Amino acid sequence: MRSDLATELASHDFWYHTIELPGPIRTPGVFDMPRALAQVGLPASLSGKRCLDMGTAEGFWAFEMERRGASEVIAMDLGEWSLADWPPAYGPPHQGEMEVVPRFKLAREALGSSVEWVAGSVYDLNPEVHGEFDFIFLGSLLVHLRDPVRALTALRSVLRGELLVNDVVSLPLTLLCPRWPAAGLAKAEQLAWWIPNPAALRVLAEAAGYEVLATGGPYLLHYGEGRATEPIPAQTRAQMARRSLRGLPLELIRRTRDRFGVPHAWLLASPRPDLAKGALASDQAVRVGAQTPA
């Protein structure tokens, strides 16, 4: 381990993932990823599997898949800010290269990892370019995408095994209609699009051509040291003590979420064998249908 690791880590003023490095050292991530491991249905062993971590950021899940025995792990994320699929009302897009790459490389070097970082968009996945994967992890990415079904379909084009989706869900919609698929559209100025309940997350996967094998959540993806939070006011704590969760107003639910973490749910799925493999087949079918006279 390099003696200057702590100093170099401190030179980065932002970390998205909390990653445990030798030392012991923990990166000051916005989210406490090691705490989420007990909540997410990541297989205990990925021995001999070729894996993809889509939307990798600093690579927490990619490094974890390698630790669980994967023979090869590709960590993929956008290389250019201009490729981000963000709502136009959020503001003008950033320019230049994404600054996540130096942090990923620093963590990889500290861990002695062989994970390979590849620049790319989920929409552009292609088996002829990227090959096929035995296992894919998709973490907290669908919420940032205009077309989540298109993204899931593209993932299916390079998948020969199982996909684990771990993404943001709406706590109010989960409480109000736990069995009925529902999703909300985020406010125009937010860095998000669709926020489903767990039932809708399942329907998104099924619409993209997957068979859902297992599900879990909702759970809170807790914040880490990198996110400063204000303490809950005493009045709010008193309200929480007096009321049942079902009776909480939506604003109180939001305050609880903002203080402790972001609601997530996960599902494990595999491609339906009876469907054409890949996104191109679906796109072509749509174009043919549009050109067919009524």
Domain count, the chain: 1
Question: Tens of pLDDT along 123-166?
Answer: 999 999 999 999 999 999 999 999 999 999 999 999 999 999 99
Q: What is the pLDDT of residue 239?
A: 40
d(C-alpha 221, C-alpha 126), whole Å:
31
- Token digits for 129? 């370019």
pTM for the structure as a whole? 0.84
Q: Assign residue 280 the CATH number of its domain.
A: 3.40.50.150
Q: Which residues contact 74 (CB under 8 A, 6 or more apart)?
A: 50, 51, 52, 53, 62, 115, 116, 118, 130, 133
How many Å separate Cα 19 from the centre of its chain? 16
Local confidence band at 72 (pLDDT 50, 70, 90 cut-offs): very high
d(C-alpha 221, C-alpha 31), whole Å:
7
- Give the H/E segment covering residue 66: helix 60-67
Q: What is the pLDDT of residue 95?
A: 67
Question: Tens of pLDDT along 181-223?
Answer: 999 999 887 889 999 999 999 999 999 999 999 999 999 999 9
Phi, psi of 63, deg, nearest 5: -65, -35
Question: Tens of pLDDT along 265-290?
Answer: 999 999 999 987 754 444 533 433 43
Q: What is the pLDDT of residue 93?
A: 62
Buried b / exposed e across 164-186, counting CB within 10 Å, b at 16+? bbbbbbbbbbbeeeeeebbbeeb
Local confidence band at 227 (pLDDT 50, 70, 90 cut-offs): confident
- 102 lies in which domain range? 5-291
